[in-house]
Amino acid sequence: MSLTRLIVLATVLAWVVVALGAYVRLSDAGLGCPDWPGCYGHIGAPSGPEQQRAALAAFPDRPVEAPKAWKEMIHRYAAGTLGLLILAIFVAAWREKGRALRLSAALVALVTFQALLGRWTVTELLKPAIVSAHLLGGMATLALLAWLALTRGRAVADSGGALRVWAALALAAVAGQIALGGWTSAHYAALACGDGLTCRGAWIPPMDFAAGFFGSAATADALTAIHWSHRVGALAVCAILVPFVAGLFGKGERLIGGLIAALLALQLALGAANVALGLPLASAVPHNAVAALLLVALVAANWKLRSVSPSPASGGGVGERESGRLCE
């Protein structure tokens, strides 16, 4: 398989791993297996009576819940496959001696750290800081793979310097909102407000930001601070993405602009559904998956606005050199 196909396959699988991780977390299966990388000492969830007895003897305080265990293991299988694909990308890039080598090496380091975070997620019993870091690591892996996949294609025309700043701001805003979303999910604060547009009956309810972001986050005011911050973050994202999309349309970039606008609208609708319907998996998991797609769309927008098409006189030197610097 060619290096380009490996990168595209890994990018798609990275998105699947992010979605599976959300499903495991939101279905309360994050501790479906009490050990790592196996499950009760097996490569899969204990299935037969003998295996389950052995598992109970080894972990007497953690009775086997096979459905949760299998959810966790399927996520681990997918993540392990992604790790092997990224290793294969690095080997292929090494052989190619091309501009993908440095970024592929960074991906190997990142996915190795992700594996450690996956282990600590279990051994530290879903500590919010580790769970949030694990989510961000998965999103970063997806973003880097998407960038690497884009650099395998032809450089495209520069669309204007002003939009580059908006593109960077938009990417940073969505990344920050994803971090807030992960913090909200890790603290089970998605329903802390309990009502519609207001929060606990007020636009600015009682909140404890210190406990929510630096303490135990066990009180209602602390959880409210986390959830309210995520809501405000959504408004900030809209305030940046709406003019950015308008700028893209003004420059004739209707495809990427329309995609970002559609994903943003869908993400807002899913967020509202989570609150209105009590966080059902049918909207909560897509809320994470669409956030990942929005991140990829903004990575693509940044790449498109920062690439320069090769000039006929140079035979592609300028465009190739700029794209090369970005992906090395």
pLDDT tens across 237-268, in order?
Answer: 999 999 999 999 999 999 999 999 999 999 99
* pTM beyond cutoff 0.75: yes
The predicted pLDDT at position 245 comes to: 98
State yes or no: pLDDT of 235 exceeds 90.
Answer: yes
The predicted pLDDT at position 48 comes to: 87
Task: State the average pLDDT over residues 293-320.
Answer: 68
State yes or no: pLDDT of 108 exceeds 80.
Answer: yes
- DSSP annotation of 308 reads -
State yes or no: pLDDT of 319 exceeds 50.
Answer: no
State yes or no: pLDDT of 285 exceeds 50.
Answer: yes
Q: How far is CA 181 from the centre of its chain?
A: 10
d(CA 258, CA 247): 11
d(CA 225, CA 6): 42
Residue among 50, 72, 320, 322 flagged as catalytic? 72
The predicted pLDDT at position 160 comes to: 58
Task: State the average pLDDT over residues 287-314.
Answer: 81
Q: How far is CA 195 from CA 178, 205, 222, 228, in A?
A: 22, 12, 17, 12
State yes or no: pLDDT of 325 exceeds 80.
Answer: no
| Residues forming beta bridges with residue 39, ordered by sequence position | 42
Mean of the per-residue pLDDT values for the chain? 91
Task: State the average pLDDT over residues 20-47.
Answer: 94
Burial category of 204 from C-beta neighbours within 10 Å (exposed 0-12, middle 13-18, buried 19 and up): exposed
- DSSP annotation of 127 reads -
Task: State the average pLDDT over residues 147-173.
Answer: 84
The predicted pLDDT at position 153 comes to: 75
Task: State the average pLDDT over residues 20-27.
Answer: 97
State yes or no: pLDDT of 36 exceeds 60.
Answer: yes
The contacts of residue 214 (CB under 8 Å, 6+ apart) are none
State yes or no: pLDDT of 181 exceeds 60.
Answer: yes
State yes or no: pLDDT of 156 exceeds 70.
Answer: no
d(CA 185, CA 17): 17
The predicted pLDDT at position 185 comes to: 96
Is residue 328 annotated as a catalytic residue, yes or no? no
Query: Is residue 187 helix, strand or coil?
Result: coil
pLDDT tens across 38-73, in order?
Answer: 999 999 999 888 999 999 999 999 999 999 999 999
Lowest mean pLDDT: which of 99-113, 272-286, 301-315?
301-315
Q: How does residue 312 score in pLDDT terms, banded at 50, 70 and 90?
A: very low
Query: Is residue 20 helix, strand or coil?
Result: helix
Q: How does residue 324 score in pLDDT terms, banded at 50, 70 and 90?
A: very low
